[in-house]
A and B are shown apart, each in its own frame.
Chain A
Amino acid sequence: DVKVTQSSRYLVKRTGEKVFLECVQDMDHENMFWYRQDPGLGLRLIYFSYDVKMKEKGDIPEGYSVSREKKERFSLILESASTNQTSMYLCASRLGDMNTEAFFGQGTRLTVV
């Protein structure tokens, strides 16, 4: 069974903290993605990676960075957490072909206080 695993289900962090969200996939997928999900806004792409050490900005990259040192792991970093980054964060991966579906992790609900 394919798996995308996010390191935490729930996180509470203080304003100004540096926050790391980890995602691991066991499917040897080339592409990995970080989204945030907010009510009424759907999923918005923060960053994606199409290969190891490669990264591209999505639609809302401000305040975030990413790291992909190994193919199976894609980390999202909040450099200095702010309350407007309180959200559900979803990691996804898929093969590099255009017609393939994505597999999602269970999500991390981050609250910044």
Chain B
Amino acid sequence: AQSVAQPEDQVNVAEGNPLTVKCTYSVSGNPYLFWYVQYPNRGLQFLLKYITGDNLVKGSYGFEAEFNKSQTSFHLKKPSALVSDSALYFCAVRDEGGGFKTIFGAGTRLFVKA
């Protein structure tokens, strides 16, 4: 069965410092991995995805994520955090065995302090 874990409910980082939001997954086949961001009282916005190819994926707003097959991880990163990055971040996974379904993690709230 598919599953996604975001081990941290909350991540705090100072503005200008690098940030990492962690995600691990479990699927039976090849994974399709996604990161979404949610600002207050809004729907989710797509940030980036890993389908195949280069393990380092670049996305919107300066975010990137590294796919690590041996550790079954897909951590979200940014070299220099902004206060405006403060939001709720969701990792999601899909695989061919799961059909149309996408499984979302519980979410990690990122606070960037000025």
Contacts and interface: CB of A to CB of B under 8 A. Distances in A.
A41 B106 contact: yes
A105 B44 CA distance: 8
Contact of B46 (A41, A98, A101, A105): A101
Contacts of A90: 43-44
Contact of B104 (A42, A98, A106, A107): A42
Interface residues of B, number: 22
Q: Interface residue tally of chain A, by bracket?
A: 20 to 34
Given A99-B51, A101-B49, A107 B43 contact: yes
B51 A31 contact: no
B101 interface: yes
B80 interface: no
Given A4-B43, A98-B32, A107-B43, A42 B101 contact: no
B63 interface: no
A104 B101 CA distance: 15
Interface in B29-69: 32, 34, 36, 41-46, 49, 51
Interface stretch (A43-51, A60-68, A77-85): A43-51
Given A4-B43, A107-B42, A102 B32 contact: no
Contacts of B101: 45, 48, 58
A4 B43 CA distance: 10
Contact of A102 (B9, B41, B102): B102
A17 interface: no
A61 to B, nearest CB: 13
A104 B88 CA distance: 15
Interface-centre pick from A48, A56, A102, A106 (highest chain B CB count, 10 A)? A102
Nearest to B101: A45
12 contacts: A9-B41, A42-B107, A45-B102, A48-B100, A48-B101, A102-B34, A103-B46, A104-B36, A104-B43, A104-B44, A106-B42, A107-B42
Given A43-B44, A99-B51, A104-B36, 13 more contacts: A35-B104, A40-B9, A45-B101, A56-B100, A92-B44, A98-B96, A99-B49, A101-B34, A101-B46, A102-B34, A102-B44, A106-B42, A109-B41
